[in-house]
Amino acid sequence: MRVLITEDDDILRLALDASLRGAGFAVDTVIDLPEADEALSVNDYDCAVFDRMLPAGDSLRYVAGRRRTGWDVPVLFLTARDAVSDRIDGLAWGDDYLVKPFAAAELVARVGSLCRRGDTGRAPVLRHGDIELDVGRHEVRRAGRLLALTVKEFKVLERLLAAGGEPVRRAELIAVAWDELVPPTSNVLDVLIAQLRRKLGTPPVLHTVRGVGHLLR
């Protein structure tokens, strides 16, 4: 499970990072809202932890703005503000609210609960043998090893995995990764398939069916 921490206090940020990593979470840390915005735009998270008051302003307003666009990652707010009105405001846009000072064990428990809550709507994980493609996280692993795929390689592999071992026609694979303007006779797919074979490694699993297309076997 992957967690984003946005906290400008260096000591607390390092402590949160160590506690969550020690509990088995993958953790990214940033110090302010612009960095959080960038991280959220390129990564998928199971939970986000925000300090309420940051150099760029109140993170509650930032989260409220994202919620209005449909963003639904579970959020835990950290704050020294413990008035009932502050708690109500935090829970209106976040999912949990933890008042400083707090015990590390409580933070870990609350983050774990939020991650499990958000897990119900996660995108599927596709598998074939020892290959695993996580649609939501946009990650591919073979035998547990993370592979660095391009966006087009990921799309082609996703379609092949979804086929369940049946061959997928060239024209369909081209349409998945490019568009209908690329002719089926183009060699762009051949180049991509060769790169994907190399990245998937041995034993070979991606095969060509002459006159038809490609399959995983």
Domain boundary among 88, 121, 154: 121
Assess whether 104 and 23 both reside in one domain: yes
Assess whether 105 and 198 both reside in one domain: no
Q: Name the strands in the sheet holding 213-216, side by side, starting at the edge strand that comes first in the sequence.
A: 168-169, 213-216, 206-209
Domain boundary among 121, 146, 176: 121
How far is 203 from 38, CA to CA, in rounded Å? 38
Assess whether 94 and 10 both reside in one domain: yes
What is the reported pTM? 0.54
- To the nearest whole number, what is the mean pLDDT of the chain? 86
Say if CB 151 and CB 139 are below 8 A apart: no
pLDDT in tens, 120-176: 555 578 889 999 998 777 889 999 899 998 888 988 998 899 888 889 888 888 877
CATH number of 50's domain:
3.40.50.2300
Assess whether 110 and 206 both reside in one domain: no
Of 204, 129, 217, nearest to 166 by C-alpha is 217
- Which residue range is the domain that position 69 belongs to? 2-121
Say if CB 49 and CB 7 are below 8 A apart: yes
Domain boundary among 82, 100, 121: 121
Assess whether 196 and 115 both reside in one domain: no
The pLDDT, as a whole number, for residue 160 is 92
Tokens representing residue 73 in the block: 């990652």
